[in-house]
Amino acid sequence: MSALERFGGCEPWGQWLSLKVWALGLVLILWSPAAQAQLFRPLFGSDGSHVSLEGEDLYGIACHYNLSVEHLALANDILPIRIQISPGTRILIPGRRILPVAPPRNGIVLNIPERGLFLFRNQRMVRFYPIAIGRPNSSETPEGSFRVTSKAINPTWFPPEKVHYWKGAVRPGYENPLGKYWIGLGPSRGLGIHSTNRPIFIGSALTNGCIRLYPWMMEDLFRQVRIGMTVRIEYETAKIGCDPRTGTCYLAAFPDVYGRADPCISAQRLLKKIGLSRFATFEAWKDLTGRSPGLARPIILKRTGISAAELEEPVLDSEKGGR
């Protein structure tokens, strides 16, 4: 049974013909700069693997690859609280990223479900930074458009009223959760990007609404950010990207941490725009977006030259998952 029969449940020859017509249309779409910018975003980086050594844990491996424990845990179906791993364990490193829509010339785009911050300079993607975000329900990180309004080294923390375990201002030092660097965002009062005194929790959702970075990565970001720089905070649980060199398109889905946008439904809406959603059932997309979230999985194997024989391979590579 072919992949199209398994996922679509329709007569195979009709699916082959439809997919050939769709593939021709896809080529035309890819030649349209406006459509490509909206539907097929560029990719950054690539996935890799790491075989753990004696004494290594997920936190150390995550730091080495500039990721968070949550990024590795989700990609490898491991509970985030399970830091210790056995020597010789092969860990998938989710390094491939799908860039945001309409990135700024010079600025920051932050995707809450992805637990990641993208820095752009001179219209180029500079770096991806793993982040910690606000606690669900009580202290969620807000979406919206902001600007860098202030920068401070060794800031003093003035806890918000809802924080009852601190009384009064917290001076710079080890106990200060802001760490050494602070970037204030306006017009919101008290919202910012800062370092942390507990780097092991980068990737989690437990802040009071601010965005935390590893201390060494925050120092790097602090040097590159300027007052007035734009900061866009968005909430995307699904993205589609395309590698222009191979024509391979990828779907990435992320956990709906705030309960705002189901990743399966978000993925279906995106795929409907390019005519691919009809080649798979809702259950197939749900499986694709639910397993190993955070990975950019290939969903279209080739842009041109599709043959009936090639269509015996999965159009949705849900079994391999891009590993």
Task: Report the CATH number at residue 156.
Answer: 2.40.440.10
Q: What is the pLDDT of residues 30-59, one digit of tens each?
A: 445 554 555 668 999 999 999 999 999 999
* 215 and 125 share one domain: yes
* 167 and 271 share one domain: no
Domain total for the chain?
3
Q: What is the pLDDT of residues 227-258, one digit of tens each?
A: 999 999 999 999 988 887 887 888 899 999 99
Residue with tokens 């500039």: 66
Distance CA 288, CA 284 (A): 6
Lowest mean pLDDT segment, chosen from 24-28, 266-270, 275-279, 298-302: 24-28
Domain boundary among 210, 234, 258: 234
pLDDT, mean over the chain: 80
Distance CA 87, CA 72 (A): 16
Query: Cα 69 from chain centroid?
Result: 14
Q: Name the more confident of 190 and 223.
A: 223
Residue 287 confidence (pLDDT): 64
* 267 and 219 share one domain: no
The one-letter code for the residue type at 122 is: N
**What does the pLDDT average to over 204-220?**
97
* 189 and 136 share one domain: yes
Q: Is residue 75 part of a domain?
A: yes
Task: Quote the domain boundaries for residue 52.
Answer: 48-94
Q: Is residue 322 part of a domain?
A: no
Residue 6 confidence (pLDDT): 30
Report the run of H or E that residue 97 belongs to, with start and end.
Answer: strand 97-98
Confidence of residue 284 (pLDDT cuts 50, 70, 90): low
Q: What is the pLDDT of residues 156-190, one digit of tens each?
A: 988 777 766 667 788 899 889 999 999 999 998 88
pTM for the model stands at 0.80
Alpha helices for 142-251 (secondary structure H): 215-224
* 166 and 278 share one domain: no
| 68: CATH | 3.10.350
% of the chain with per-residue pLDDT over 90 = 54
% of the chain with per-residue pLDDT over 70 = 73
* 250 and 199 share one domain: no
* 241 and 134 share one domain: no
Distance CA 21, CA 224 (A): 47
Domain boundary among 234, 263, 287: 234
Closest CA to 139 of 287, 255, 257: 257
Return the C-alpha torsion angle 127, 70, 170, 180, nearest 10: -30
Looking at the predicted structure, is the pLDDT value of residue 272 above 90?
no
